[in-house]
Amino acid sequence: MIRDTGANIEVAQETAHHSLLREMFDVAIRAVSAELVLPGRLPDAVPGKTLVLGVGKAGAEMARVAGHHMTGRIEGIVLTRYGHGRPPEEMPPGFTLLEAGHPLPDARGLQATCLIVEAVRALGEDDQLLMLVSGGTSALLTMPAPSISLADKQEITSALLRCGASISELNCVRTHLSAIKGGRLALAAAPARVVTLAFSDIPGDDPALVGSGPTVADRTKLADARRILELYGISVPEHVAAALRDPANETPFASADALARSVTRVVARSRNALEAAGELARSAGYQPVYLGDDLQADAGDLGTIHAALALHHAGKGGRFALLSGGETTVVVRNQEGRGGRNGEYLLSLACGLDGARGIYALAADTDGIDGTEDNAGAIITPSTLTRAGGIGVSAGQAIRNNQSYEFFRALDDLIITGPTRTNVNDIRIVLIDR
């Protein structure tokens, strides 16, 4: 009889936990899919036509589902990130699919936005605009304010991303440099009815911040945008500074007729995904521990904190699943670095755990893209640092050089899903099995 060695048992345990983490992530994604979420929440038909506008990384799937479930006269336009669309034959008849740049806006996005605004302005009193908005809309739906160029928007967006600004800070600045965000698209649709259904990728699920709220009243002001740029030491050309001082660029008041009469609902959020993953964990014998669905912090700092929490729970014995959502930030120290916030979080978590037995973790973005690479995130196990050392790879160096992608690719621990066509931000799962 061949007996299992300790090494064989450890490998089997890592394989089993790796599979459970992936299954939990897949279940979480399913829980916030348009196919599951949208039917039953779509508006009724109107005497005229409904223009379905699906924008963001979930835009194509949201529009596809809406078009196949709604009645009445329907037209549709989709604007999504390159590679996140659907084959034309899968879209409803009369729907136009457009793709553009993300996270930086590009000329294709500007052209597509002009087409969208033209279609929205053509709506009449008997018509309806169904705005299906999801993460990515802020970059995709781009129409700079007067005197602001696309190059200005690109440069400022890039600077804010590099310095670790939060998504709410980034969207505040983008909104006040835009001619379409912060409720202005709803004004363009008047007198048509406006219904907005949002997949929230924003900690706290404020619909005004999802995609910078093209059809939702904004609560930030020009002064807030100026303060954010000052906070991060970002200097802008004088014509941009002048635009941020110009009262004409202030977003419309919530009392404006088109905004006061519009209907807005958040229909998918991080909490839904986390609860689905937690139920699977419970069925597998783990006690779910929810750390919050709206966490915002530096990725490395949060990894260190969660390592301490994991070790604390490990000391109790038993089986736990620590679940959290939200969006961390990364300060870019190496312009040539490859990776994203989930990879940086996991590197920090692995260093904090230092190979502690029985602790496994996954961190990934629900849209399938962590940063700018082709992975959604990655997985760590108790052997992560040992295996890395065996092939001459350093977690500490990967953190310093923003090279989480290369680190986890070398260990074959990347999670690659391709576009998931949903987006409720990051999911982090730490399994503790003592």
Fold type of domain 12-32+271-433: glycerate kinase, domain 1 (3.40.1480)
Confidence category of residue 3, pLDDT binned at 50, 70, 90: very low
Closest CA to 81 of 104, 58, 100: 100
Confidence category of residue 334, pLDDT binned at 50, 70, 90: confident
pLDDT of 287 > 90? The answer is yes
Confidence category of residue 5, pLDDT binned at 50, 70, 90: low
Percent of the chain with pLDDT over 70: 98
Mean residue pLDDT across the chain: 94
DSSP state of 298: B
Digit-coded pLDDT (tens) for 199-211: 999 999 999 999 9
Instruction: Enumerate the CATH 3.40.50.10180 domain ranges in the chain, comma separated.
Output: 35-268
Classify domain 35-268 at the CATH superfamily level: Glycerate kinase, MOFRL-like N-terminal domain (3.40.50.10180)
CA distance 109 to 107: 5
Mean pLDDT calculated for residue range 32-53: 97
Mean pLDDT calculated for residue range 141-155: 94
Instruction: Enumerate the CATH 3.40.1480.10 domain ranges in the chain, comma separated.
Output: 12-32+271-433
Is residue 434 within 8 Å of residue 394, measured between CB atoms? no
pLDDT of 397 > 90? The answer is yes
Is residue 133 within 8 Å of residue 198, measured between CB atoms? yes
Percent of the chain with pLDDT over 90: 88
pLDDT of 97 > 70? The answer is yes
Whole-number pLDDT of residue 198: 98
Mean pLDDT calculated for residue range 213-228: 95
Digit-coded pLDDT (tens) for 347-388: 999 999 999 999 999 999 999 999 878 999 999 999 999 999
Digit-coded pLDDT (tens) for 402-420: 999 999 999 999 999 999 9
Closest CA to 129 of 28, 60, 52, 27: 52
pLDDT of 43 > 80? The answer is yes
User: What's the start-to-end Cα distance of the chain, in Å?
Assistant: 28
pLDDT of 247 > 70? The answer is yes
Mean pLDDT calculated for residue range 282-311: 97
Confidence category of residue 130, pLDDT binned at 50, 70, 90: very high
Mean pLDDT calculated for residue range 73-97: 95
Whole-number pLDDT of residue 6: 60
Closest CA to 257 of 217, 226, 291: 217
Whole-number pLDDT of residue 7: 65
Residue that has been written with the tokens 């300060």 in this structure: 331
Mean pLDDT calculated for residue range 138-159: 94
Mean pLDDT calculated for residue range 101-125: 96
Alpha helices in 177-244 (DSSP H): 184-189, 222-231, 238-243
* Structure tokens belonging to residue 12: 């089997």
Whole-number pLDDT of residue 16: 92
Q: Using CA atoms in the order 106, 112, 115, 116, what is the torsion angle rounded to 10 degrees?
A: -110
74 — phi, psi (to 5°)?
Answer: -130, 135
> What residues form DSSP beta bridges with 133?
55, 198
- CA-based radius of gyration for the chain: 23
Whole-number pLDDT of residue 4: 54
> What single letter denotes the amino acid at residue 387?
R
Digit-coded pLDDT (tens) for 9-22: 778 888 999 999 99
